[in-house]
Each structure stands twice: as C-alpha cells, then as structure tokens.
Structure 1
Amino acid sequence: MGAAKSVFTPQELEDYEDLTYFTQKEVLSYFHQFKALAPDLISVQRDARLPMEVILRYPQLRYNPFGDRICMVFSSSRDGDCNFEDFLDMVSVFSAEAPMSVKAEYAFRIFDFDGDDMIGPEDMEEIIRRLLGDVQFPQVDILQLVQNLTSEADLDDDGMLSFAEFEHAISKSENFMRSFQLQL
C-alpha cells in the first residue's frame, strides 16, 4: 500500500477526504478500483480520462440501466468520459454516507434526459423503459403509468416535475436511499 500512497500528495488525500464521504484509505481503495479499469493507461498517466465504455465496466455500473446517464452526469467534460476525480465524485454520491439531499440532486440530473431542468413525460417514459429492460409493455400502459406518476408528484399541475416536486416525491419513498446506492 506504500507505493499507492505516493500516487497522491498528503494534501491531495486530505482534500479528497474533505470533499467526499470517504476516508483517505477509502480514497486510495477507489483509486485502485479506478486504475483496475485501465491499468496500462492509469499507470502512465494518473489524471487519465477513461472512456465511458471503460467506466461502464465497473461492476456496480455494468448492469445499471442508467449507467450511461450516470457517466454523463458525473463527467466533468460532459461526454461520459471520467477522470479519477469524476469517478470519486460518483462513488461518493452513491455511498451510504451521502445525504438524501445530495442523492436527490444527482438522481434528478440523471433522470432529466433532455437537460431542461424538469422531468417531463418524455423523461419519465425513458425512465420506465430503462427500468423495464427487455420486458415489453404496451405503449398505452407506459403512458398511463407516466400519467399516474405525474398526477401523484406534479404539485403545480404543469405536467412536469421540478426538482422541488421530485425531491418531495422521493422523500416519501423509504426505498429511494437504498436504491440510489452502488453496492460498493
């Protein structure tokens, strides 16, 4: 482990500890997990950006129906490619220690497919389709589900969910915190 510590300065480790929900030892562990995704590239260049396809090999993202969206939201270049700091931000938000408010903010961004700062019917339909995976549902049933979700959570009746409405809706869900965690 001594060789790994030399990858970061003591100040960098302290900064990572301050900016995440992790200890310095956990930060080093996540660096090893990040490095394992592309060991040849990372050993040469510590601040390498890994393509989204490589990040999606991370076991906790491999089968996540929102893996590509997660990469896009956490990518500092907004193209889905991630450097270690992007990766560390991601695993920090998905950790059990991250507060509900932080998880809600990122979940909203992940589910806002069109990036308009609202979760509209098209976004909800995409969420449902991804959750269904290979299961085929009639379009009329999906639209009914979108309508039901909207009527339940849309407090101002504009047909879309603002962040405040989304946060209010998920605050009622006991399962949200558990489902918005990567099994790290």
Structure 2
Amino acid sequence: MFRQLSECHLPPVVERECAASLTVPYAALDTLTELKENPFRRRVCEVFSTNASASLTFDQFLEMFSVFSEHAPRDIKAIYAFKIYDFDGDGFLGESDLLHAVKHLSHDLLTPDEYSTIVAKVLEEADVDCDGRLSQSEFIHVILKCPDFVPNFHIRI
C-alpha cells in the first residue's frame, strides 16, 4: 500500500536505511478508501508525523496502521484518540479542542448553541477534577467505557 501511494518509483526491495527516507504525502493518504471518509484524516496524519513536511515516512505509516489495527490494544487506541483530539497539542482537551472535534464529527451542521451544549455536557460528564479540561487519564477513563470506541477506531486493509 505504501508503494502505491509513494510519489517515487520504488524498487522491488528497499534497504532498511533507504526506507527511513521514503515518504507518502498526506494528499495521497486522502485517497485511501480507509481514510477518505474520516473527518479526522488530516489530523490523524499530523499526529503520526514527526515533521512539518505534510508527509509520513514508512515507519510512521506502519505505526499509524498498527494503531488502527483491529488487534491493537485498546489503551493504545485511546492514547492516540486523545492525541488526535488534542488539536492545540497542550496535553489536555480544553473547550476549543472539544469544539473542534465536535465540528469535525458534525461537519459544521449544528448551531453555535448546540456546539456549546455538547462541549459543556462532555466536560460535565468527564472532567473529574473540574478544571475545565480533560486530562489524558480522564479522557481514557471515559472513552474506554464507550462500547463503540474500539470497534470504530480501526482501519481495515
């Protein structure tokens, strides 16, 4: 799959040292059936990429598909879900992160009042220490109770 998405022509066998420098641009990943309908597809790529090049290396590509595998541990899935929702990268899910996530999920079809209500309810239910944001542990505690989380947090290839 990486070979199909890579912009450069790859030989049948690639040495490990060379594989580290091969990349797939985010735009190519957008064409994958497994990702193209995901409203977080760009954010997923950003979380797994360690540089600002708008691309994934082969190792990052493998890590992404490993985390989204049906066989990945649910705790690992929850950690990466948190990272995907932490849009500002501050290690917490604040109101702006939650609003951003809800807008992605709803495709911007709700009213401002509806967004505010949803964000307030999420914080009311999950913010154990009442600091107005969700820590990673608060998020994981809640998300692992959701029966649809693990079955839906995967990519089949």
TM-score by length of 1: 0.77
Q: Partner amino acid for 2:8?
A: L
Structure 1 residues without counterparts, runs of 5 or longer? 1-32
Q: Which of 45, 50, 53 is the equivalent residue of 1:71?
A: 45
In the TM superposition, what is the alpha-carbon distance from 1:84 to its structure 2 partner? 1.2
Counterpart of 1:123 in structure 2 is 97
Verify the 8 A CA contact 1:42 1:48 in the aligned structure 2.
Answer: no
**Match status 1:141 vs 2:141:** no
Greater relative CO (CA pairs within 8 A, separation 6+): 2
Match of 1:172 in 2: 145
Cα distance in 2, alignment partners of residues 80 and 181 from structure 1: 22
- Equivalent runs, 1:6-45 vs 2, <5 Å: 33-38=1-6, 41-43=8-10
Residue in 1 aligned with 2:56? 82
Whether the 8 Å contact between 1:72 and 1:79 is mirrored in structure 2 is no
Cα offset, 1:79, TM superposition? 4.2
The partner residue of 1:107 within 76, 81, 93 is: 81
Q: Between Structure 1 and Structure 2, which shows a larger proportion of helix residues?
A: 1
1:74-105 residue CA offsets vs partner (Å, 9 max, x unmatched):
11325431011111100000001100111011
Query: Where does the alignment leave 5 or more consecutive residues of structure 2 unmatched?
Result: 12-17
Task: Detail structure 1 runs of 4+ shifted over 3 Å in the superposition.
Answer: 44-47
Asked whether the 8 Å contact 1:49–1:81 carries over to 2, the reply is yes
Give the percent of matched residue pairs that are identical in Structure 1 and Structure 2.
35
